[in-house]
A and B are shown apart, each in its own frame.
Chain A
């Protein structure tokens, strides 16, 4: 296993990117923290050292994405509507005070994650495809559809400037 001090410094290096990815998937602070914690558990259990910082980051992003998807598929999420069990209800914390984040987070996971990775993290489509184990064509179409959906939101909000331009740029990337 990796030395705990090494893990701590890796955690410190990538915590923000990881946490944002988890939040992007899970949509609230509590679940994002759970996913994050599980990712760190996997990191603590890892046997081999990383080859580079990029390797570290790529591995962590992949594990975090898998962990989020696993949590999203967890039986009790699928099966029970916790709103019907007020005794278990937890006040979910979110960051959606800023308008654009709130719009993106209102999209389905399959659109908002590629949008986050593409626009915010600056990953190329091919890299996102690798990290998420999804075909490039699928990522492209998810980005396209996500943007279309966002456009509708933005139209409603009355601000479209700059968005269409970037849209064109994506395909060429």
Chain B
């Protein structure tokens, strides 16, 4: 009987005529609006196309050792809400790894959940298709380096080996998760597999070329109420500047995360520029020539050091200036070392050079706000020293 009822359970789920009409009308209006917008913003799309072309070019020459424009982003998020398997004992942290080697094909975004049991000094790793996962073309492969880093912070020395044993996985730079582990991960967060089509990726890339334009963001992804900003302050009061690379389509959905550039010096300079800008704002000034010069020098230094950036001076100023204007705060910055094209295939180096990021991570792991400066500094110094002795594959450096 029940089965019969199940077969007809959705019979009542039907749109009203009014609802049907409204959906049709709104959909048509949306498409017309999009078409008009494309016309008006050809400039942005051209920039998008140019960027895309450059990245495709980069993908072609990258295997030859010229890793032009490759950039890897490793981001950490606040602990996501997961059911506690053993209440009180495990803490879960999400790490999002995105390694981008080209625009259309080799866009690898991975998310793993790292579960830390402080009492038993154990760490579990699970791969999770996450809302920030864009395309997992190497699905089942994750970057181990950031995990290793987190493992060290968590007090587990041989995290790679542990993970290998625990999940019965090969200890290569990348880990292929078996079905059981994946199932576990999926169950854990009740997640769903992400399967964007290639043309959708392309759409997002075009969209993301509308760099830091809140109005455009709202038009593109309207929220329920226009007064709700996509970057609403998190409930615990953190507001963070996020300077994700401009191809990252979900950058405005990433909050309380900071980004990511190629050198510690770069981060230092950016933070000092940011501070400088805050003072300027207080004095009612705009970004000065001096700030521009500082950033130009920074990019020049990076170039001389063999590093590359795909941001222009003015873009960086825009990003920072907007952040200053909106009273964002830097709560964490992580710095990412540059990887060559081969290592970009799912593996990368993760180097946290700036204390802010370490503080940020420490706050997660030690479960308390970074209030005791001396104590925190000590922990950070130790963990940082530890980390410097590990290479990106999790091996101890000679």
What sequence of 0s and 1s flags, for each residue 227-251 of chain B, a beta carbon within 8 Å of any chain A beta carbon? 0101010110000000000000010
Taking A15-B15, A37-B30, A163-B3 as contacts, is the C-beta distance between A116 and B131 under 8 angstroms? no
Q: Are B31 and A69 in contact (CB under 8 A)?
A: no
Q: Are B10 and A120 in contact (CB under 8 A)?
A: yes
Chain B interface main SS type: loop
Is A140 on the interface with B (CB-CB < 8 A)?
Answer: no
Q: Are A44 and B253 in contact (CB under 8 A)?
A: no
Neighbour of B225 across the interface among A73, A75, A88, A98, CB < 8 A: A88
Is A40 on the interface with B (CB-CB < 8 A)?
Answer: yes
Q: Are B2 and A76 in contact (CB under 8 A)?
A: no
How far is A133 from B197 in the complex, measured between Cα atoms in Å? 12
How far is A44 from B193 in the complex, measured between Cα atoms in Å? 25
Q: Residue of B at shortest CB range from A120?
A: B10
Is B196 on the interface with A (CB-CB < 8 A)?
Answer: yes
Is A110 on the interface with B (CB-CB < 8 A)?
Answer: yes
Q: Are A75 and B2 in contact (CB under 8 A)?
A: no
Q: How large is the interface on A (under 10, 10 to 19, 20 to 34, 35 or more residues)?
A: 35 or more
Is B397 on the interface with A (CB-CB < 8 A)?
Answer: no
Pick from B19-27, B168-176, B287-295, B361-369 the stretch touching chain A: B19-27
Chain B residues 193-232 with CB under 8 Å of chain A are 193-197, 223-225, 228, 230, 232
Taking A66-B196, A162-B2 as contacts, is the C-beta distance between A98 and B9 under 8 angstroms? yes
Is A95 on the interface with B (CB-CB < 8 A)?
Answer: yes
- The residue in A20, A40, A73, A109 that gathers the most chain B C-beta atoms within 10 A of its C-beta is A73
Q: Are B232 and A80 in contact (CB under 8 A)?
A: yes
Q: Are B15 and A4 in contact (CB under 8 A)?
A: no
Is A161 on the interface with B (CB-CB < 8 A)?
Answer: yes
Q: Are A75 and B131 in contact (CB under 8 A)?
A: yes
Is A115 on the interface with B (CB-CB < 8 A)?
Answer: yes
Q: Are A88 and B228 in contact (CB under 8 A)?
A: yes
Q: Residue of A at shortest CB range from B192?
A: A69
Q: Are B3 and A162 in contact (CB under 8 A)?
A: yes
Is B7 on the interface with A (CB-CB < 8 A)?
Answer: yes
What sequence of 0s and 1s flags, for each residue 85-114 of chain A, a beta carbon within 8 Å of any chain B beta carbon? 000101000010111110010001110000
Neighbour of B2 across the interface among A15, A133, A160, CB < 8 A: A160
Q: Are B22 and A162 in contact (CB under 8 A)?
A: no
How far is A41 from B23 in the complex, measured between Cα atoms in Å? 10
Neighbour of B190 across the interface among A75, A110, A119, A166, CB < 8 A: A110
How far is A16 from B15 in the complex, measured between Cα atoms in Å? 7
Q: Are A110 and B2 in contact (CB under 8 A)?
A: no
| B64 proximity list for chain A (CB < 8 A) | none
Chain B residues 1-41 with CB under 8 Å of chain A are 1-10, 12-15, 19-20, 22-24, 26-28, 30-31, 34
How far is A107 from B58 in the complex, measured between Cα atoms in Å? 46
Chain A residues 31-62 with CB under 8 Å of chain B are 33, 36-38, 40-41, 43-45
Is B118 on the interface with A (CB-CB < 8 A)?
Answer: no
How far is A90 from B2 in the complex, measured between Cα atoms in Å? 33
| A128 proximity list for chain B (CB < 8 A) | none
Chain A residues 130-173 with CB under 8 Å of chain B are 133-134, 137-138, 141, 154, 159-163, 165-166
| B252 proximity list for chain A (CB < 8 A) | 75
Q: Are A15 and B223 in contact (CB under 8 A)?
A: no
Is B308 on the interface with A (CB-CB < 8 A)?
Answer: no
| A15 proximity list for chain B (CB < 8 A) | 15, 20
Q: Are B4 and A33 in contact (CB under 8 A)?
A: no
Is B255 on the interface with A (CB-CB < 8 A)?
Answer: yes
Q: Are A110 and B192 in contact (CB under 8 A)?
A: yes
Q: Residue of B at shortest CB range from A138?
A: B183
Q: Are A75 and B6 in contact (CB under 8 A)?
A: no
Is A72 on the interface with B (CB-CB < 8 A)?
Answer: yes
Q: Are A4 and B192 in contact (CB under 8 A)?
A: no
Task: Write the nearest CB–CB distance from A84 to chain B, whole angstroms.
Answer: 8
How far is A162 from B34 in the complex, measured between Cα atoms in Å? 50
Task: Write the nearest CB–CB distance from B236 to chain A, whole angstroms.
Answer: 12
Q: Are B192 and A72 in contact (CB under 8 A)?
A: yes
| A88 proximity list for chain B (CB < 8 A) | 224-225, 228
How far is A97 from B30 in the complex, measured between Cα atoms in Å? 33
| B5 proximity list for chain A (CB < 8 A) | 99-100
Q: Are B10 and A73 in contact (CB under 8 A)?
A: no
Q: Residue of B at shortest CB range from A167?
A: B3
| B194 proximity list for chain A (CB < 8 A) | 69, 73
How far is A121 from B193 in the complex, measured between Cα atoms in Å? 22
How far is A76 from B255 in the complex, measured between Cα atoms in Å? 11
Is A123 on the interface with B (CB-CB < 8 A)?
Answer: no
| A11 proximity list for chain B (CB < 8 A) | 24
Q: Residue of B at shortest CB range from A17?
A: B10
Neighbour of B30 across the interface among A41, A95, A160, CB < 8 A: A41
Taking A45-B31, A69-B192, A163-B3 as contacts, is the C-beta distance between A95 and B12 under 8 angstroms? yes
How far is A44 from B32 in the complex, measured between Cα atoms in Å? 10
Query: Can you name 26 A-B pairs with beta carbons within 8 Å?
Result: A11-B24, A15-B15, A16-B14, A19-B13, A24-B10, A29-B19, A40-B23, A40-B27, A45-B31, A45-B34, A66-B195, A72-B192, A75-B131, A76-B223, A79-B232, A79-B234, A79-B255, A95-B12, A95-B13, A97-B12, A101-B13, A119-B3, A120-B8, A137-B179, A138-B183, A154-B2
Q: 6 other contacts beyond A15-B15, A19-B14, with CB at 8 A cut-off?
A: A37-B26, A76-B223, A79-B234, A100-B6, A101-B13, A138-B183
